[in-house]
Amino acid sequence: MARARIGTGRRRTTPTQPTDPEPPPPAEDSQVLAALRAGDEAAFAGLVDRYHGRLVRLATVYVHNRAVAEEVAQEAWLGVLRGLDRFEGRSSLKVWLFSILTNCARSRARREGRTLPFSALGGAAEADGAEPAVEPERFRAADPGRGHWISVPDNWDEVPEQRLLAAETLALVERAIAALPPTQRAVITLRDVEGCASDEACAVLGLSEGNQRVLLHRARSRVRRALEAHLAGAAA
């Protein structure tokens, strides 16, 4: 199950999405590609089973509803079939699929007039420190103790596991991710929902490592704030 790393550095995490079939390890990519290039329909059906839900989920970052996201995913699958012979294996199969989907989704969004320049979508503007990752009022502003916590993040190790896994909590986390600015949402979706490494997310989204790291931190902080408020309200 994909889990979001929105805690306080402890091992306890909270799930963000329902379980999808896990993608094969990268070592199997060459076998899958060989089968696809040989026209193995079962191999292609297996790939669709593993990734279609993930592609649709990522497409919703760029387009206005799930029906359009499904269309974008179908377009991406056509792109996969057309590009099999050109794929050189310099990235993992997963990164290649997500990159094709992202390009298709951005093109569709441009056709629908839904996109803005990247900087306006939360790239440079968010990564350059325009928005604090944690509310300044949670820190001491004056000496002694300047910069130290006033309100320390909750220790979720004390929250019962079944409460964190409850459908209501999962839905809250999904809504919090959906409400993020587009690039923050794309980064946290790739990193914490799909399990991509930082270099993979950078490759898919065309981000520098520094921007990816800042955007991910801001996204996790926003989701954590929403979850903290939910858990505090439920406990009141």
Owner of token pair 């996109």: 115
pLDDT tens digits, 187-214: 999 999 999 999 999 999 999 999 999 9
Can you name the residues that pair with 15 across neighbouring β-strands? 3
pLDDT at 235 over 60: no
Of residues 123 and 224, which shows the higher confidence score? 224
Question: How much is the pTM?
Answer: 0.71
Give the pLDDT score at 29.
87
pLDDT at 179 over 50: yes
pLDDT at 223 over 50: yes
Half-sphere exposure of 3 (CA within 13 A, CB side): 9
Of residues 24 and 218, which shows the higher confidence score? 218
Residue 118 binned pLDDT confidence (cut-offs 50, 70, 90): very low
pLDDT tens digits, 31-57: 999 999 999 999 999 999 999 999 999
Mean pLDDT of the chain: 77
Residues of the chain with pLDDT > 70, as a percent, come to: 64
Phi-psi region of 153 (alpha: psi -120 to 50; beta: other; left: phi over 0): beta
Residue 143: how many other CB atoms lie within 10 Å: 7
pLDDT tens digits, 91-108: 899 999 999 999 999 999
Q: What is the DSSP string of the chain?
A: --EE--SSSSS--EE-S---PPPPPGGGHHHHHHHHHTT-HHHHHHHHHHHHHHHHHHHTTTSSSHHHHHHHHHHHHHHHHHHGGG---SS-HHHHHHHHHHHHHHHHHHHTT----GGGGTSHHHHTTSS-SS-GGGB--SSSSTTSBSSPPP-GGGS-HHHHTSHHHHHHHHHHHHTS-HHHHHHHIIIIIS---HHHHHHHHT--HHHHHHHHHHHHHHHHHHHHHHHHHHH-
Residue type, 100: I
| Secondary structure of 11-53 in HEC code, one letter for each residue | CCCEECCCCCCCCCCHHHHHHHHHHHHCCCHHHHHHHHHHHHH
Can you name the residues that pair with 4 across neighbouring β-strands? 14
Owner of token pair 């954590």: 224
Contact 59, 72 (CB under 8 A): yes
Domains and CATH numbers, the chain: 26-111 (1.10.1740.10), 117-235 (1.20.140)
pLDDT tens digits, 63-83: 989 999 999 999 999 999 999
